[in-house]
Structure 1
């Protein structure tokens, strides 16, 4: 069957560009009201009945009956056996990817995850104490697809941060366990793993049950039910983000082979029909060449139908006045993945302010970042890169301020604090500071 991918052709010089551009970017993160209510019911039920509710929903939604939740826990021996049974090339790839991800996050920890302090002129000690979370939960999607890379990207930075326990949940419909996911859990240092998923798994992690321990934070992607559940439990536990459809924006100067760019657009479009793939380029002839490559390569793709629907429904090929304008439009989009497919990527990188991850140069395909380059592939979507960051070591740490005021410091700071406290009408605050002043 032949599928046609017809991404919108836009031009920044068109009088209708702003309206067309806004319409192409629009995506509603609102969750269906029925999903919200169902999720709320599941969360309340798990909170009330614990293991029994999780078992009931796992049997109903995943066709995986069990009499105890312990029966759905994966042992360390089972994780290791899955790793040992993999073909040598898959074992090697997992280990190589894990080493690079671990190396990157160890460098990240040194750069931004250490405690620090200093003494001021009065001898007061001021600083910051950085400590890891005690226990985190990572949600790994299962069912239609399995993502061992998600295990690495969520568990390894937690491990590097020093988290004491990493609890993994992964749905296994009809009991079908993906060996790569289990092996990745072994390589990444997951502490405990349960074959449960959906809102019930999020609830078990957030509230704790008789078998599943309560965690401090939940990370990892999932379907609409998982996303809704994470929103509901935020505040009881921390969460990483609410992820929208996957996105790629390619900023091209026309120097990269069109086939490469077409395949990079495919790499996100194949995720699902709501994924967004956009090309920004000042060369109209090059845009034509990329469209020709799309037409030629699409029939060779196993997921051609999904790619075609994604590109036609949400994709765009945008002709810009210049690379400078393309950079400014990119900042407005704030994409999850941003490829600077240019012969001079470092010329344009300083102009780019908002993106989850920036891939510099023609040889830096987004797919390398997804699996093994090293930086985390859990990235902000739907324009949230304007104010949020990739998942990292810092997501598995917390910071406590350290304050030790000397006697001399109290004499200097006390009157300042008292004046401000009286101004706010908080007399006890003021007098607590004044009592420490030398009479």
Structure 2
């Protein structure tokens, strides 16, 4: 088993078009998804729990009406006690590191007092209730629970509601244990578009939330799009991706395995090597072909690297930086002798892993920073999930009588310039005449 990755050269006249084509990845779609999701959302909105019972039985083979939508608290703690001690220890380790990192993101309210007594400021308050979607069944995503729940709790969210499907009624104890350790308040066994609708609009059993975060399939992502505006959402995540910048100072086997780590997610994941040395690219290609047969998910990795992967050889350092910024990768690994300087020079990336020991997989689980990251080039304008996503900011304006004189005069002029005379007169009523 082997794979020959596409090789691109920045000095080629066709490079810009080749890079654009490489980065253009459409997520798999199914005909009628928008319409189906819209129907599910509308049904849950109007029929509440009754709709959830129908959809849960249809899609998950689980009788939620008979067994209940909510996971009892004793069952959550039972899961925590049931997992092996090493798993619990690692979950606790991850939660502690993620919490310690996110505590640095706390924002505080502030005020400034002007000389005339006017006070301006900003009030920072946590959201009251947030919904967290976690893929369920036999899949194990405790890391998703931790990365979404911990910053929400650090932010001060009062109530954190988790929804997760349980096909045939099957629980995943690691997911439930992570929920307990991360501070999740209530867990409901419902998934898909119907779970997103329940969080957005509320049902007799599931309370409506202010914001929904967490990954999901195309139905979940589509539902999040459709309910956005009624509630906030974190982002619409695309396929996972990594850009590795390397020179001859790093073991090519390490690079190959890091490319595999992204490629094994699914066939549409993207792994790219960027280097200034064609020899480095060739050594990594050799490592890929030697190591690929040893991988459990070799078929998925092979398809991912073949269809979406690439080896890019830059003809200068400036070109290398430019390409990295064009890609604006979700994960950026820099394994070069000048890694720290390169990290400063590159502007766009979801997360930057500096130095050969900074494997991206460590960030996925327990390094500390959040693994919910912008994909598909959106790192140009978007940021990792953080405490700030679970807080809102309110402006504070307390104008003194003296302040109203200067501010009001200018507001009056500007309002009349916009032909909004009620605005102008509202400000003018508060102006004092010279004789006052």
Which TM-score band applies after superposition, normalised by the shorter structure?
A: over 0.9
The answer on 1:92 being equivalent to 2:89 is: yes
Q: Choose the corresponding residue for 1:319, options 310, 313, 318.
A: 313
Aligned to 1:285: 279
Judge conservation of contact 1:6–1:308 (CA < 8 Å) in 2: no
Judge conservation of contact 2:241–2:271 (CA < 8 Å) in 1: yes
Judge conservation of contact 1:280–1:318 (CA < 8 Å) in 2: yes
Q: Mapping of 1:330-369 within 5 angstroms?
A: 330-369=324-363
The answer on 1:43 being equivalent to 2:13 is: no
Q: Choose the corresponding residue for 1:104, options 101, 105, 111.
A: 101
> How far does residue 195 in structure 1 lie from its aligned partner after superposition?
1.2
The answer on 1:121 being equivalent to 2:115 is: yes
In 1, the alpha carbon distance for the partners of 2:40 and 2:306 equals 36
The answer on 1:138 being equivalent to 2:139 is: no
Q: Secondary structure at the match of 2:121?
A: strand
Gaps of 5+ in 2: none
After TM superposition, the score normalised by the length of structure 1 is: 0.97
Q: Secondary structure at the match of 1:10?
A: strand
> How far does residue 121 in structure 1 lie from its aligned partner after superposition?
2.3
Judge conservation of contact 1:5–1:312 (CA < 8 Å) in 2: yes
Judge conservation of contact 2:164–2:190 (CA < 8 Å) in 1: yes
- Give CA deviations for 1:224-266 in whole Å, capped at 9, x if unaligned: 0000000000000000000000000001122110011101001
Q: Mapping of 1:155-194 within 5 angstroms?
A: 155-194=149-188
Aligned to 2:148: 154
Aligned to 2:51: 53
Q: Mapping of 1:3-82 within 5 angstroms?
A: 4-28=2-26, 32-68=30-66, 71-82=68-79
Number of aligned residue pairs: give it.
433
Judge conservation of contact 2:138–2:171 (CA < 8 Å) in 1: no
Residues 40/268 of structure 1: CA separation in 2 closer, same or farther (3 Å cut): same
Q: Secondary structure at the match of 2:64?
A: coil
In 2, the alpha carbon distance for the partners of 1:144 and 1:254 equals 41
Q: Secondary structure at the match of 1:73?
A: coil
Q: CA RMSD in A?
A: 1.2
Judge conservation of contact 1:281–1:323 (CA < 8 Å) in 2: no
> How far does residue 29 in structure 1 lie from its aligned partner after superposition?
5.4
In 1, the alpha carbon distance for the partners of 2:116 and 2:388 equals 32
